[in-house]
Amino acid sequence: MQNQLVIYNTLTRTKEKFEPLNKGLVGLYVCGPTVYSDVHLGNCRTFISFDLIYRYLLLLGFKVRYVRNITDAGHLEGDRDEGEDKFAKKAKLEQLEPMEIVQKYTLGFHDVMREFNNLPPSIEPTATGHICEQIEMVKKIISNGYAYEVNGTVYFDVEKYNKEFPYGQLTNRQLEDLIANTRELSGQDEKHGRLDFALWIKAKPEQIMRWPSPWGWGFPGWHIECSAMSSKYLGDTFDIHGGGMDLQATHHTNEIAQSQACNHKAPVKYWMHTNMLTVNGVRMSKTAGNGFLPGELFTGNHPLLEKGYSPMAVRFFMMQTHYRSTLDFSNDALQASEKGYARLAAAVKTAENLKTSATSTSNIQELEKNCFDAMNDDFNAPILVSHLFEGARIINSVNDGKETISEADLVLLKKLMHDFVFDVLGLKSEISNTSSDNALQGVMEIILEIRKEIKSKKDFAASDKLRDNLNKINITIKDTKDGAVWSLTAGE
CA dist., res. 55 & res. 416, Å (int):
14
Binding-site member from 9, 10, 46, 310 for ligand AMP (CB under 6 A): 46
Interaction between residue 243 and ligand AMP (CB under 6 A): yes
Closer of 34 and 162 to ligand AMP (Cβ):
34
Residue 226 CB, shortest distance to Zn ion, in Å, is: 3
Among the listed ranges 271-279, 370-378, 441-449, 466-474, the one in contact with ligand AMP (CB under 6 A) is: 271-279
d(CA 297, CA 306): 10
Element (H, E) at 165: none
- Please state the closest distance from residue 329 (CB atom) to ligand AMP, in A: 10
Ranges within 2-31 binding Zn ion (CB under 5 A) = 31
Output the DSSP codes for 194-236: TT-EEEEEEPPTT-SS-B--TTSSEEE-HHHHHHHHHHHHH-S
Binds 226: which of Zn ion, ligand AMP, none (CB < 5-8 Å by kind): Zn ion
CA–CA gap between residue 254 and residue 310 (Å, rounded): 38
Q: How far apart are CA 36 and CA 34, in angstroms?
A: 6
277 binds, among Zn ion, ligand AMP, none (CB under 5 to 8 A by kind): ligand AMP
Residue by residue, DSSP assigns 385-438 as HHHHHHHHHHHHHHHTTSS--BHHHHHHHHHHHHIIIIIIS-----S--SHHHH
Rounded to a whole number of angstroms, the CA Rg of the chain reads: 26
294 binds, options Zn ion, ligand AMP, none, Cβ within 5 to 8 A by partner type = none
Binding mask 218-257 for Zn ion (x = CB under 5 A): --------x-------------------------------
Q: Which is nearer to ligand AMP, 238 or 420 (CB)?
A: 238
Q: What is the DSSP letter of 34?
A: B
From 62-70, 162-170, 276-284, 453-461, span contacting ligand AMP (CB under 6 A):
276-284
Strands (E), 36-193: 64-68, 147-150, 153-156
Axis-axis angle for helices 222-234, 131-143 (nearest 10): 100
Q: State the CB neighbour count (10 A cutoff) for residue 456.
A: 9
Nearest to 247 by CA among 485, 465, 29: 29
* Choice from 67, 88, 178, 277 touching ligand AMP (CB under 6 A): 277
Instruction: List the x/- string, 361-400, binding to ligand AMP by CB under 6 A.
Output: ----------------------------------------
Part in contact with ligand AMP (CB under 6 A); list of ranges 275-283, 395-403, 442-450, 456-464:
275-283
Q: Which does 467 bind (CB under 5 to 8 A by kind): Zn ion, ligand AMP, none?
A: none
Binding flag, residue 52, Zn ion (CB under 5 A): no
* Rounded CA separation 114/420 (Å): 19
264, with CB counted inside 10 A (0-12, 13-18, 19+), is exposed
57 lies in the site for ligand AMP, by CB under 6 A: no
Q: Does 203 bind ligand AMP (CB under 6 A)?
A: no
CB of 361 to ligand AMP, least distance (A): 42
What is the C-alpha separation between 479 and 461, in angstroms, rounded? 15
Q: How far apart are CA 213 and CA 1, in angstroms?
A: 50
Kindly tell me which of 31 and 257 has the beta carbon lying closer to ligand AMP.
31
Q: Which is nearer to ligand AMP, 23 or 114 (CB)?
A: 114
Site residues for ligand AMP per CB under 6 A:
31, 33-34, 42-43, 45-46, 243-244, 246-247, 274, 276-277, 283-285
